[in-house]
Chain A
C-alpha cells in the first residue's frame, strides 16, 4: 500500500513539471503584458519610463528563460509567487477562492450521484423499455444542454416567477450554511445535471452487466427478493465503474465550473482564472493550472484508493 502511494507520488512529479513548463511557455507566446493593461487600458497615459520601471519591478524585463527558472524555483519550495496585478501572494488569491469552487463541485457531485444511482439502476434493470428510453433521453439532454445556458435559464425563471435570486456576497458553507446553500444550489444543479448524465449512462451499463453475473443469477435462484438483490448486490457492484468515472470526468467538472461561476457571479477559482486571463496575470494563471492539476491527480489517486477499498480483489501496484 505504502509502496503504491509512494510510486504514485513519484509519478506525479514529472507530470507536474510538464504541466508547469507547458503552461508557462504557452502563456508567453502573445505580445502584451499586464503592465500595459494596468496602466493604459482605461485611458491612462503612462510614460515610457513608467512602463519600463513597472516591468522591471515585476521582473517582466527578464529574459523568458530566467523567468521560467524563477517560476520553477518558487514551485520547488511551494511558492507560487505574487500576483502581478494585486501584489498579493498567488497562493492567497487562489486559496481564498478555492472553497467556493470546491463547495460547488461537492454539491454538484451530490446532485449528480443522487440522480445517477436510482435512475441508472432503473434504466439498467429494464433495458429497452420505455422507462429506459425516457431516462436515457433525460441523461443525454443533460449532456447536450450547455450548462451556462441551462443555469441562466433556471436563474431567470426563478427571478421571473418568484422574484428570487441567490444572496449576494460569498457565504461559507460552514459558517453560514443556509445562505451558502442558497448561493450554491442553482450552479450545483446546472453542473450536477450535466455531470449526472455521464454517471447515469455508466451506472446503467454496469447494472446491465452485473445483472448477468453468476452471483445475481444464483441469488435469484435462491429466491431472494428482487429488491434485496438490487440493493445488496447489483448496486454495490455497479458503483465501481461509476466511481472511476467520477475521477476521470473531473476535468469536465472543472470546465463546467469555470463557465458556471461566470454565469452566477460566484467568486470562485474559475472566475479568478477568467479575470487573470483578461489581465494577462500569467503568474496567477500558472498557479491556478498547477493547483487544478494537483487536485486532478489527487482525485484520481483517491478514486484508485476507494476502488481498492470497495473491491478487495483489486491489488494496488
Chain B
C-alpha cells in the first residue's frame, strides 16, 4: 500500500507557487492556448441564448440534414435543427455538467481526505477502505451503474443524478491526494500551535489545512473537468446520459448519427471536434497549472 495513486506520486512535496500563477501559465504556449480556449468556451456557452442563430430545439423537418450554408453555418441534423445552435447550447451542458461534477467530486474528496488525515486512527482506516472500494470499480462502469439505477432527476434542466454519477468516482482520487497532503501539513508546527491554542477542529481544517491544499485541488479540479466532460459524452452516446431534446455533444453522436455521417459528415464532425477542443483546452491548462504548483516538475523545464 506504499503508493496507491498516481496523484499521490505527483504531490510528494508541498506546493509552493512562486510568483503570480497566471504569469507562469501564460509563459507556456500550450497552457496559454488552453486558457484562451476555456475562456472562449465559457463566454460562448454562457452567451448561447443571445448568440445562437436559432432555437436549438426548433425542428424544421422540411430542412433536415441540410449541408452547411449561410443560413446554417454547420448544417442541420435529422430533425432540421440548427447544428451550430445545438453545439453552442451543447457547450452549456458540457460545461455545466463537467464543472459541477468535477467541483462536487473534488470538494467532497478534499474534505474527506483532510478529515480522514486529521482524525487519523480508525476513522482514517474506514474512510481509506471505503475509498479503496470506490477506486476499485472502473469509472465508466460505476457511472453506468449509477445512472441506470438512479434514473433521472432533472433540476433546472440538469440531471442531478448524472452529475452525481460522474462526480462519485472523482471523490476517492481527490481524497487520496488531499489526505497525503494533509498528513504532511498535519505534522507542521503551526498546526500543532493551532491545536495548542484550542482552535476547533473545524476551524483548523477549514482555515489552516484546506487553503494549503489549494494547489493540488485546483489542478485536479481542472483535470477532472476534462474527464467529466468526456464521461458525459460517452454516457450520452450510449444513451444513458443527457436525454433528448437537451443539446449535448455526446448525444448528437448517438443513435443514427454515424449512419448518416457517410452522406452528411457534418453531423458527426462538429460535435466530435467540440468535445475534443474543450477536453484539449482543459488538459493543456491543467498541465500548465500542475507545472506551476508542482515545483519538482517545473524545475525540469
- Residues of A at the B interface (CB closer than 8 Å) are 11, 14-15, 18-19, 22-23, 26-30, 127-128, 133, 136-137, 140-141, 143-146, 148-149, 152-153, 156, 160, 201, 205, 208-209, 212, 241, 244-245, 248-252, 254-256, 258-259, 262, 273-274, 277, 285, 288-289, 292-293, 296-297, 317
- A residues less than 8 Å from B268 (CB atoms): 149, 152-153
As a 0/1 sequence over residues 275 to 301 of chain B, the CB contacts with chain A under 8 angstroms (1 = contact) are 111011001100100000000010011
Instruction: Assess the B149–A30 pair: CB atoms within 8 A.
Output: yes
Instruction: Assess the B300–A258 pair: CB atoms within 8 A.
Output: no
Question: What's the minimum C-beta distance from A157 to chain B, rounded to whole angstroms?
Answer: 10
**23 A-B pairs whose Cβ atoms sit less than 8 Å apart in the complex:** A14-B129, A18-B129, A26-B149, A27-B145, A28-B149, A140-B30, A140-B280, A140-B284, A141-B276, A145-B275, A146-B272, A146-B276, A149-B253, A149-B272, A156-B258, A241-B9, A254-B141, A255-B138, A258-B140, A273-B141, A274-B238, A277-B144, A296-B137
Instruction: Assess the A18–B130 pair: CB atoms within 8 A.
Output: yes
- B residues less than 8 Å from A23 (CB atoms): 137, 145
If A143-B226, A149-B253 touch, does A259 touch B145 (CB 8 Å cutoff)? no
- B residues less than 8 Å from A19 (CB atoms): 133, 136-137
Question: What's the minimum C-beta distance from B73 to chain A, rounded to whole angstroms?
Answer: 21
Interface residues on B, range: 35 or more
> What is the CA–CA distance of A22 and B145 in the complex, to the nearest angstrom?
11
> What is the CA–CA distance of A201 and B6 in the complex, to the nearest angstrom?
13
Instruction: Assess the A148–B237 pair: CB atoms within 8 A.
Output: yes
- A residues less than 8 Å from B1 (CB atoms): 11
Question: What's the minimum C-beta distance from B27 to chain A, rounded to whole angstroms?
Answer: 11
- B residues less than 8 Å from A14 (CB atoms): 129
User: What residue in chain A is nearest B143 (Cβ atoms)?
Assistant: A255
Question: What's the minimum C-beta distance from A214 to chain B, rounded to whole angstroms?
Answer: 15
- A residues less than 8 Å from B277 (CB atoms): 144
Question: What's the minimum C-beta distance from B153 to chain A, rounded to whole angstroms?
Answer: 11
Question: What's the minimum C-beta distance from A81 to chain B, rounded to whole angstroms?
Answer: 17
> What is the CA–CA distance of A205 and B9 in the complex, to the nearest angstrom?
12
Instruction: Assess the A26–B141 pair: CB atoms within 8 A.
Output: no
- A residues less than 8 Å from B140 (CB atoms): 254-256, 258-259
If A144-B283, A149-B253, A152-B268 touch, does A252 touch B139 (CB 8 Å cutoff)? yes
User: What residue in chain B is nearest A124 (Cβ atoms)?
Assistant: B300
- A residues less than 8 Å from B233 (CB atoms): 146
Instruction: Assess the A205–B297 pair: CB atoms within 8 A.
Output: yes
Question: What's the minimum C-beta distance from B175 to chain A, rounded to whole angstroms?
Answer: 15
| Interface assignment of B107: CB less than 8 Å from any CB of chain A | no
If A146-B275, A212-B300 touch, does A29 touch B149 (CB 8 Å cutoff)? yes
> What is the CA–CA distance of A26 and B275 in the complex, to the nearest angstrom?
30
- B residues less than 8 Å from A30 (CB atoms): 148-151
User: Which of A28, A127, A148, A297 neighbours the largest number of chain B CB atoms within 10 Å of its CB?
Assistant: A148
Residue from B146, B151, B237 in contact with A146 in the complex, judged by beta carbons closer than 8 Å: B237
Residue from A22, A145, A153, A244 in contact with B6 in the complex, judged by beta carbons closer than 8 Å: A244
- A residues less than 8 Å from B301 (CB atoms): 127-128, 208
Extra 9 A-B pairs, beta carbons < 8 Å, given A277-B240, A296-B138, A297-B136? A11-B1, A30-B151, A156-B261, A244-B9, A245-B6, A251-B139, A254-B141, A292-B137, A296-B136
If A137-B30, A146-B272, A205-B297 touch, does A255 touch B141 (CB 8 Å cutoff)? yes
Instruction: Assess the B133–A209 pair: CB atoms within 8 A.
Output: no
- B residues less than 8 Å from A140 (CB atoms): 30, 280, 283-284, 287
> What is the CA–CA distance of A249 and B258 in the complex, to the nearest angstrom?
29
| Interface assignment of B197: CB less than 8 Å from any CB of chain A | no
User: What residue in chain B is nearest A149 (Cβ atoms)?
Assistant: B272
Instruction: Assess the B136–A144 pair: CB atoms within 8 A.
Output: no
> What is the CA–CA distance of A146 and B284 in the complex, to the nearest angstrom?
16
Instruction: Assess the A22–B133 pair: CB atoms within 8 A.
Output: yes
- A residues less than 8 Å from B129 (CB atoms): 14-15, 18
> What is the CA–CA distance of A86 and B268 in the complex, to the nearest angstrom?
36
Instruction: Assess the B148–A277 pair: CB atoms within 8 A.
Output: yes
